[in-house]
């Protein structure tokens, strides 16, 4: 099956190192650990983990050596808000779609994964969209291009769920647009709050019902079990602190509303997403313990996103909020390093603080900082080599490693292009000839 | 067959069957392709009362048999369309998908009575409303023996179709139907044989509106069915002191179905549906298979059979001649017909279905493409006969030419996949049909 190999090799997974490769040493690098300073040195990787970092490391003689040529090595970028690699984003027909989940629609062959790699991203939080007040469940993936859906999931990541406030979840309710487009409750911000309250009231009743059933059965009563409800189970997990809430929001008033509702029902908001007016209520966000994942300078694309400032990330950070920068876009995802750099310009963050917005901070928000987010001994070898300092506009990703395996190599990408283009041209011509309309005589004719 | 024909038949000779045709045939001197062993040259096959009585080079023609000289002819098991809608007219009552009184439905609808008629409120809609669900209907109850598609298929050598109602997400239950019969009931070989699921969506305004909605909906329904079964059984054992489980026809339909058909074209979908099938705790069959050539290992490991759609992906004939497709699209088109050969080599069970191929004459052409891409001719025949029967558990009666099996077969004047070969006669349940003289063979004009 040579032809199969061809497709497998070129389209899916330009992986040059295999899992069993064992020990790798990256030498001659300017290492940006993000959490432990920056220095010239080497990184020793064994079985996908970082085992040594320093000016000199004890590399065994048979270790595979990658010479970084004096270029920069930083931890793989983590995007706390993305919609790539899924064949569905929104189940927007209902206001509570917690029964749905990205885990069911992961597409490990989405080209967005490869493009993310080319932008230095190694991990992303793949969220349901913001069409409804309570959306679907999310997954955290690593960009293991060429692997299948279960293999790209970051195992051990705490499950989460998407919430959304403001214009998007109320839009289908009609709002200002008149009755004819009214498809769904709610139509106002009040209604959004009501939907969330009602859902958690239902979830509490559901949990009580099951608790009651278990108690009675334990006492020997003969009862039919309650029906399992896949819509309410994730909300019970939220109440029990087993599932994170990632809430899409913009305005200060709706942010406060959600924090109060959560306090009242006894659960936590793990991250506020977008949170463009977060700078106005940073103290309250800090008190609740929510993280904030925002844009650097992207706003004014709709009414609720007007009162935004580029200092938002820095101001929230200085108030003690855990802040990350996200993309929410397959394009922006490819230059999150530049987004981080803007926090140096707007708000005066240090280089390490800026890089933390796209590495260790999103890792902490997703509770995966024991695995990823910085270059430290014991962590996954998820590393990016840039030719220039990653906070420079001129920096280009050269190589990307995940679990010590190389998943992106700029040189290989460039050299593969001609081969792919040639095969593409050959197949296109062959299929064009086959599809030409059959004519009794005179051969194929081009359509007029 | 009209009532008048039946009366005439009853007055006929004893050697003739109920429907007015002979009930004892012997085809002699033919090459017989059994699909269960090597071809037998210069052989005889005896058909009596709808069953195969004898096959072999030395099988004699019994006294009183209507003999057919098979010199130069080939006898094959009747072809089976492994996933079909033949015989179920488009206007079948499957459109009435929504239960008349949906429990818990339309909670807030009362406040919105000024809604224009074309706006559908779904604000409380969810899995519990059973949208797009007719799991209880059976193809056997919908089939019409005079359906034109069914007759066209029979003339092309098809004797059996596994027919499913296919509207909505839970389409309904399939039936194995023979493609001839005086009454619809005569056609049914086995029913129900499975539940047809699509993962279709209902657009912008009605649940489910996305693939993840469809999947979560199906998951909840199977969970509900399991719960329903337990609750009903507990209640049946001793009703005293127990809440009565509410009757739910959508769950009844799921519980009646011995297996579930799931859509899976690309590799990503095939692997997704294999995982999903394990969750549903029901035997599954996948249908689609455009990237089966990439998924043989996954199918083999899971032991899941695949139905391959014979409508191979092709470049749009009316498309922009200068448009350059992505390499991925081009590779899929190039390699899709090699899927069956890859599956055969890997030992994955598979069968073919007509899919979007409208003309029965084109179906054999599509099979030929798979053969040209490496599938052995005899494996292609199996994928249109015995393998389909095995997948649906009816191989004890259908799918190959063996003694005691249903006499479904077709007779040609050459190799079944050769372009100029004509179907000379078709036997369904031992009844002989002769296709009308073929118009110009496919591929030639004027």
Residues B173 and B39 in one domain: no
| B122: in domain | no
CA–CA separation, B140 and B186 (whole Å): 10
Which range (B98-102, B265-269, B438-442) has the least confidence? B98-102
Is residue B130 in some structural domain? Answer: no
Q: Which residues of B touch A8 (CB under 8 A)?
A: 294
Please tell me whether residue A237 adopts helix, strand or coil conformation: helix
Task: Give span(s): CATH 2.30.40.10, chain A.
Answer: 1-76+374-448
Q: What's residue B439's pLDDT?
A: 59
Architecture field, domain A1-76+374-448: Roll (2.30)
Does B281 lie at the interface with A, CB-CB under 8 angstroms? Answer: no
Contact B268, B288 (CB under 8 A): no
Residue contact B227–A227, C-beta within 8 A: yes
Q: Which residues of A touch B324 (CB under 8 A)?
A: 424, 428
Assess whether pLDDT exceeds 80 at residue B113: no
Tell me phi and psi for residue B374, to 5 degrees.
120, -5
- A77-372 adopts what CATH topology? TIM Barrel (3.20.20)
Sequence-distant (≥ 6) Cβ neighbours of residue A247 within 8 angstroms: A162, A163, A164, A165, A258, A269, A271, A272, A273
Same domain flag for B180 and B237? yes
**Residue A185 in contact with residue A191, Cβ under 8 Å?**
yes
Look at B216 and A102 and tell me if their CB atoms are within 8 Å: no
Q: What is the ipTM of this complex?
A: 0.93
Q: How far is CA A374 from CA A32, A73, A118, B232, B412, in A?
A: 8, 11, 19, 56, 71
| pLDDT bucket at B322, cuts 50 / 70 / 90 | confident
Write out chain A residues lying below 8 Å of B116, CB-based.
179-180
- What's phi and psi for A401, nearest 5 deg? -115, 140
Q: Percentage of chain B with pLDDT > 70?
A: 85
CA-to-CA distance for A73 and A383, rounded, in angstroms?
7
B62 and B156 both lie in a single domain: no
pLDDT in tens, chain A (448 residues): 344 444 444 444 444 444 446 899 999 999 999 999 999 999 999 999 999 999 999 999 999 999 999 999 999 999 999 999 999 999 999 999 999 999 999 999 999 999 999 999 999 999 999 999 999 999 999 999 999 999 999 999 999 999 999 999 998 776 555 555 567 889 999 999 999 999 999 999 999 999 999 999 999 999 999 999 999 999 999 999 999 999 999 999 999 999 999 999 999 999 999 999 999 999 999 999 999 999 999 999 999 999 999 999 999 999 999 999 999 999 999 999 999 999 999 999 999 999 999 999 999 999 999 999 999 999 999 999 999 999 999 999 999 999 999 999 999 999 999 999 999 999 999 998 887 665 444 444 444 3
| B211–chain A Cβ distance below 8 A for any pair | yes
- The answer to whether B333 faces chain A, any CB pair under 8 Å, is yes
For chain A, say whether B208 makes contact (Cβ under 8 Å). yes
> Which residues on chain B are in Cβ contact (under 8 Å) with A417?
none
Tell me: do B163 and B207 sit in the same domain: yes
* Domain presence at residue B123: no
B-interface mutation test, from A99, A434, A444, most B Cβ less than 10 A away: A99
pLDDT on residue B358: 81
Comparing alpha-carbon positions, the chain A residue that sits nearest to B294 is A4
Q: Nearest CA of chain A to the CA of B213: how many Å?
A: 6
- Mutation site for A-interface testing, chosen from B112, B127, B200, B210 by largest number of A Cβ within 10 Å: B210
A and B: number of Cβ contacts within 8 A: 183
Q: Which pLDDT band, with edges at 50, 70 and 90, does B252 fall under?
A: very high
Tell which residue, B290, B441, B416, has the closest CA to residue B353: B290
Q: Do A427 and B331 lie within an 8 Å CB cutoff?
A: yes
Pick the residue from chain B with its C-alpha nearest to A87.
B211
Give the tokens for residue A61: 């003689």
Cβ atoms B87, B163 nearer than 8 A: yes
**Residues in chain A closer than 8 A to B215 (CB atoms):** 100, 104-105
Q: Are strands B431-433 and B423-428 parallel, antiparallel or unpaired?
A: antiparallel
Give CA separation, A73 vs A22, A25, A27, A28, A68, in Å.
Answer: 20, 12, 10, 10, 8
**Residue A151 in 3-state DSSP?**
helix
Cβ B351 vs Cβ B399: under 8 Å:
no
What gap in Å lies between CA A88 and CA B259, rounded to an integer? 27
- Are residues B171 and B45 both part of a single domain? no
CA distance A273 to chain B (A): 22
The yes-or-no verdict on residue B4 having pLDDT over 90 is: no
Q: What is the pLDDT of residues A173-213, one digit of tens each?
A: 765 555 555 678 899 999 999 999 999 999 999 999 999 99
Using an 8 Å CB-CB cutoff, list chain A residues near B208. 91, 93
Is B325 touching A (CB cutoff 8 A)?
yes
Chain B residues close to A428, C-beta within 8 Å: 324-325, 330
Q: For B372-397, what is each residue's pLDDT tens digit? A: 999 999 999 999 999 999 999 999 99
- Is B106 among the domain residues? no
Chain A nearest CA to B169, separation (Å) = 16
How many Cβ atoms sit within 10 Å of the Cβ of residue B22?
18
What total of structural domains would you count in chain B?
Answer: 2
Which residue of chain A has the CA closest to B204?
A93
Check A428 against B325: CB less than 8 A apart: yes
CA pair distance B188, A121, nearest whole angstrom: 57
**From B44-48, B84-88, B438-442, the region with the lowest mean pLDDT:** B438-442
Shortest distance, CA A396 to any CA of chain B (angstroms): 26
Q: Which of B209, B271, B314 sits opposite A435 (nearest CB)?
A: B314
Asked whether the beta carbons of residue B126 and residue A432 sit closer than 8 angstroms, the reply is: no
Give the pLDDT score at B19: 52
| Helices B148-155/B360-372 angle, 10° precision | 50
Q: Is B117 on the interface with A (CB under 8 A)?
A: no
Q: Sort out which chain A residues have CB atoms less than 8 A from B234's CB and list them.
A: 222, 224
How many angstroms separate the CA of residue B443 from the nearest CA in chain A?
Answer: 8
Residues B221 and B339 occupy one common structural domain: yes
Measured torsion, CA atoms of residues A58, A61, A66, A67, in degrees rounded to the nearest 10? 70
What confidence score (pLDDT) does residue B440 get?
A: 52
Closest CA to B220 of A231, A385, A19, A440: A231
| Nearest of A336, A301, A326, A274 to residue A126 by alpha carbon | A326
Residues B395 and B428 in one domain: no
Closest-CA residue of A relative to B339 is A4
Distance CA(A269)–CA(A244), nearest Å, equals: 7
Say if residue B70 is in the same domain as residue B196: no
Strand, coil or helix: B40: strand
By CA distance, what is B291's nearest residue in A? A4
Q: Which helix (H) or strand (E) holds A413?
A: helix A410-435
Task: List strands edge to edge, sheet with A77-82.
Answer: A77-82, A121-126, A134-142, A160-164, A244-249, A271-274, A291-294, A323-325
- For residue A183, give the nearest of B121, B242, B331 by CB distance: B121
Does B220 share its domain with B273? yes
DSSP state of B102: -
Q: Give residue-wise pLDDT tens across range B200-215.
A: 998 877 899 999 999 9
CA distance A104 to chain B (A): 6
Sort out which chain A residues have CB atoms less than 8 A from B294's CB and list them.
Answer: 4, 7-8
Contact A432 B315 (CB under 8 A): yes
Q: Where in chain A is the domain with CATH 3.20.20.140?
A: 77-372
DSSP β-bridge partners for residue A67:
A27
In this structure, is residue B108 part of a structural domain? Answer: no
The structure's pTM equals 0.91
Q: Which helix (H) or strand (E) holds A419?
A: helix A410-435
Structural domain contains residue B114: no
Backbone dihedral angles phi then psi of residue B234, each to the nearest 5 degrees? -65, -40
Q: How far is A235 from chain B (nearest CA, A)?
A: 15
Of A10, A230, A430, the CB nearest to B219: A230
Window 68-97 of B, Cβ < 8 Å to A: none
Alpha-carbon distance B210 to A97, whole Å? 11
Considering only the beta carbons, identify the residue of B216, B268, B342 that sits closest to A107: B268
Which whole-number Å values give the CA distances from B279 to A431, B147, B216, B223, B287, in the listed order? 40, 38, 11, 9, 18
Angle between helices B211-237 and B249-256 (to 10 degrees): 90
Instruction: Name which of A102, A182, A435 is nearest B115 (Cβ-Cβ).
Output: A182
- Residue B225 domain-assigned (yes or no): yes
Of A69, A38, A74, A75, give the one whose Cα is nearest residue A54. Answer: A38
Which CATH number goes with the domain that contains B238? 3.20.20.140
In tens, the pLDDT along B17-56 reads 555 678 999 999 999 999 999 999 999 999 999 999 999 9
Q: What is the pLDDT of residue B5?
A: 41
Is residue B239 within 8 angstroms of chain A, CB to CB? no
| Domain match, B379 and B423 both | no
Q: Is A181 left (phi over 0), alpha (psi -120 to 50) or beta?
A: alpha
Q: Quick check: is B203 in a domain?
A: yes
Residue B74 in this model has a pLDDT that exceeds 90: yes
The edge-to-edge listing of strands for the beta sheet with B350-353 is B79-84, B158-163, B170-178, B188-197, B260-264, B284-288, B306-309, B350-353
Show the domain range for B36: 1-77+400-446
- When the pLDDT of each residue in chain B is averaged and rounded to a whole number, the result is 87
Of A1, A3, A148, the CB nearest to B271: A148
Residue A148: closest CA among chain B residues belongs to which residue? B268
Residue B401 pLDDT exceeds 50:
yes
pLDDT score for A175: 52
Sign of the torsion angle spanned by Cα atoms A249, A252, A255, A261: negative
Q: What is the H or E stretch that residue A271 is in?
A: strand A271-274
């Amino acid at each position: 099956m040579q032809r199969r190999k061809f497709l497998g090799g070129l389209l899916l997974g330009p992986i040059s190192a295999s899992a069993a490769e064992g020990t790798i040493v990256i030498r001659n690098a300017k290492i940006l650990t993000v959490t432990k300073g920056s220095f010239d040195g080497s990184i020793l990787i064994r079985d996908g983990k970082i085992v040594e970092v320093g000016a000199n490391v004890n590399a065994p003689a048979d270790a595979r050596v990658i010479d970084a040529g004096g270029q920069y090595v930083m931890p793989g970028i983590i995007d706390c808000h993305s919609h790539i690699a899924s064949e569905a984003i929104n189940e927007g027909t209902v206001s509570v779609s917690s029964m749905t989940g990205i885990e069911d629609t992961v597409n490990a062959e989405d080209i967005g994964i490869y493009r993310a790699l080319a932008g230095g991203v190694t991990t992303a939080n793949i969220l349901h969209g913001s069409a409804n007040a309570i959306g679907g469940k999310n997954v955290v993936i690593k960009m293991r291009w060429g692997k299948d859906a279960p293999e790209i999931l970051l195992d051990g990541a705490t499950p989460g769920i998407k919430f959304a406030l403001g214009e998007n979840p109320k839009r289908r309710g009609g709002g200002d647009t008149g009755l004819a487009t009214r498809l769904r409750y709610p139509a106002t911000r009040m209604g959004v709050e009501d939907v969330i309250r009602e859902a958690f009231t239902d979830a509490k009743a559901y949990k009580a019902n099951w608790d009651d059933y278990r108690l009675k059965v334990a006492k020997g009563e003969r009862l039919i079990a309650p029906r399992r409800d896949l819509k309410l189970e994730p909300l019970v997990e939220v109440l029990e602190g087993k599932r994170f809430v990632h809430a899409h929001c913009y305005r200060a008033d709706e942010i406060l509303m959600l924090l109060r509702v959560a306090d009242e029902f006894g659960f936590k908001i793990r991250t506020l997403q977008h949170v463009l007016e977060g700078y106005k209520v940073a103290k309250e966000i800090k008190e609740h313990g929510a993280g904030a994942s925002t844009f650097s300078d992207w706003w004014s694309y709709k009414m609720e996103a007007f009162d935004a400032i580029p200092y938002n990330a820095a101001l929230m950070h200085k108030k003690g909020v855990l802040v990350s920068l996200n993309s929410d876009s397959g394009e922006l995802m490819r230059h999150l390093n530049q987004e981080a750099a803007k926090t140096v310009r707007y708000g005066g963050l240090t280089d390490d603080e800026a890089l933390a917005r796209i590495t260790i901070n999103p890792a902490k928000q997703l509770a995966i900082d024991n695995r990823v987010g910085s270059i430290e001994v014991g962590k996954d070898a998820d590393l990016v080599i840039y030719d220039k300092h990653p906070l420079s506009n001129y920096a280009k990703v050269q190589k990307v490693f995940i679990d010590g395996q190389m998943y992106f190599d700029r040189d290989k990408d460039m050299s593969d292009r001609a081969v792919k283009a040639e095969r593409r041209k050959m197949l296109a011509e062959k299929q064009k000839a086959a599809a030409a309309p059959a004519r009794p005589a005179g051969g194929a004719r081009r359509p007029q | 067959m009209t009532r008048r024909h039946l009366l005439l038949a009853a007055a006929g000779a004893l050697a003739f069957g109920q429907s007015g045709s002979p009930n004892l045939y012997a085809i002699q001197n033919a090459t017989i392709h059994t699909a269960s062993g090597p071809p037998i040259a210069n052989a005889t096959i005896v058909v009596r009362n709808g069953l195969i009585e004898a096959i072999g080079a030395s099988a004699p023609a019994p006294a009183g048999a209507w003999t057919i000289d098979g010199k130069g002819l080939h006898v094959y098991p009747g072809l089976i369309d492994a996933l079909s809608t033949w015989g179920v007219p488009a206007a079948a009552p499957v459109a009435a998908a929504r239960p008349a009184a949906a429990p818990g439905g339309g909670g807030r609808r009362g406040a919105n009575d000024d809604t224009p008629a074309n706006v559908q409120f779904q604000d409380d809609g969810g899995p519990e409303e059973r949208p797009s669900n007719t799991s209880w209907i059976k193809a056997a109850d919908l089939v019409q023996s005079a359906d034109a598609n069914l007759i066209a298929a029979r003339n092309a050598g098809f004797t059996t179709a596994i027919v499913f109602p296919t509207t909505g997400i839970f389409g309904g239950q399939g039936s194995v139907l023979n493609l001839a019969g005086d009454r619809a009931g005569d056609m049914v070989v086995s029913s129900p044989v499975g539940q047809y699921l699509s993962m279709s969506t209902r657009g912008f305004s009605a649940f489910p509106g996305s693939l993840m909605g469809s999947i979560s909906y199906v998951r909840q329904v199977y969970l509900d069915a399991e719960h329903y079964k337990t609750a009903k059984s507990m209640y049946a054992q001793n009703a005293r002191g127990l809440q009565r489980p509410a009757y739910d026809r959508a769950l009844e339909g799921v519980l009646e179905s011995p297996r579930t058909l799931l859509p899976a074209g690309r590799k990503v979908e095939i692997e997704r549906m294999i995982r999903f099938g394990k969750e549903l705790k029901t035997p599954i069959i996948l249908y689609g298979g455009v990237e089966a050539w990439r998924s043989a290992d996954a199918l083999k490991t899971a032991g899941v059979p695949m139905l391959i759609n014979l409508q191979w992906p092709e470049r749009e004939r009316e498309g922009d001649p200068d448009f350059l497709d992505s390499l991925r699209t081009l590779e899929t088109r190039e390699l899709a017909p090699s899927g069956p050969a890859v599956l055969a080599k890997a030992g994955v069970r598979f069968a073919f279905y007509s899919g979007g191929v409208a003309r029965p004459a084109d179906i054999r052409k599509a099979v030929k493409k798979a053969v040209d891409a490496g599938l052995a001719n005899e494996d292609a025949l199996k994928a249109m006969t015995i393998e389909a029967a095995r997948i649906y558990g009816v191989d004890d009666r259908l799918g190959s030419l063996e003694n005691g099996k249903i006499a479904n077969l077709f007779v040609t004047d050459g190799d079944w996949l050769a372009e100029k070969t004509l179907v000379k006669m078709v036997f369904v349940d031992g009844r002989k049909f002769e296709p009308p003289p073929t118009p110009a063979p496919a591929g030639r004009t004027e």
